[in-house]
Chains A and B, each alone.
Chain A
Amino acid sequence: DPKIIQKPKYLVAVTGSEKILICEQYLGHNAMYWYRQSAKKPLEFMFSYSYQKLMDNQTASSRFQPQSSKKNHLDLQITALKPDDSATYFCASSQDWGEENTLYFGAGTRLSVL
């Protein structure tokens, strides 16, 4: 059974709409991350949280907002969607925020914006 669940697996949206990407991890990890993968920028870091606290942010646009309701949840809300937002969004987690901690990735949500 997958330990990091991302929902939905595929998502089609229209330009200007809003979507929420869901991520739940059942590894007992304390840190969670969002990465985006597209042809233009492979595995681009977006956000990271540790114990529900924002630790690192590389996303310039305020249209992307992480939401952490529980330690093992880190959702990603995207507003005013643009075709350029089309990508696969990967959620990841690590045991702790420490530097040596390796990442475990979810299967990704493939977003297509028309």
Chain B
Amino acid sequence: AQKVTQTQTSISVVEKTTVTMDCVYETRDSSYFLFWYKQTASGEIVFLIRQDSYKKENATVGHYSLNFQKPKSSIGLIITATQIEDSAVYFCAMRERNNNNAPRFGAGTKLSVKP
């Protein structure tokens, strides 16, 4: 069964710096999709970025990018030039291609960006 692990409970950074959030996953499927979602203080959950396991190139969207290390089953989220409004909880999720399962989420990492 698929499993997603985020070991960092919380991270605090100064704004305009770069932060990396870790995520490791377990799967027996040879093909899968990895996602990062953001939950703001209001509770809203929004999709940020996705990595397809068969793509070698790391995904990038705006100031979000991914560090996909397939041999290590790792998908890190990198936020460059952090802003105060990036403060939120970030969730990693995975969905397998060949198992008819819905996405499963990690426990989340709380990011605090301070002036």
Contact = CB atoms under 8 A, between A and B. Distances in A.
Given A42-B107, A100-B50, A105-B46, A56 B101 contact: yes
B102 A33 contact: yes
Interface string A24-49: 00000000010100000011110010
Interface string A69-90: 0000000000000000000101
Give the interface size class of chain B. Answer: 20 to 34
B97 interface: yes
A99 B32 contact: yes
Contacts, number: 50
Contact of B33 (A33, A56, A99): A99
A92 B44 CA distance: 11
Contact of B102 (A56, A88, A105, A108): A56
Contacts of A22: none
A113 interface: no
A55 interface: yes
Contacts of A104: 47
Interface in B43-71: 43-47, 50, 52
Interface string A88-101: 10101000000110
B25 interface: no
A103 B47 contact: yes
A100 B108 CA distance: 21
A42 B31 CA distance: 25
Interface in B73-115: 91, 93, 95-97, 100-105, 107-108
Among A55, A99, A102: residue with most chain B CB under 10 A:
A99
Interface of A: 33, 35, 42-45, 48, 55-56, 58, 88, 90, 92, 99-100, 102-105, 107-108
Interface of B: 31-33, 35, 37, 43-47, 50, 52, 91, 93, 95-97, 100-105, 107-108
Top 5 A-B residue pairs of the complex, sorted by shortest distance between their CB atoms: A43-B105, A105-B45, A48-B102, A102-B47, A56-B102
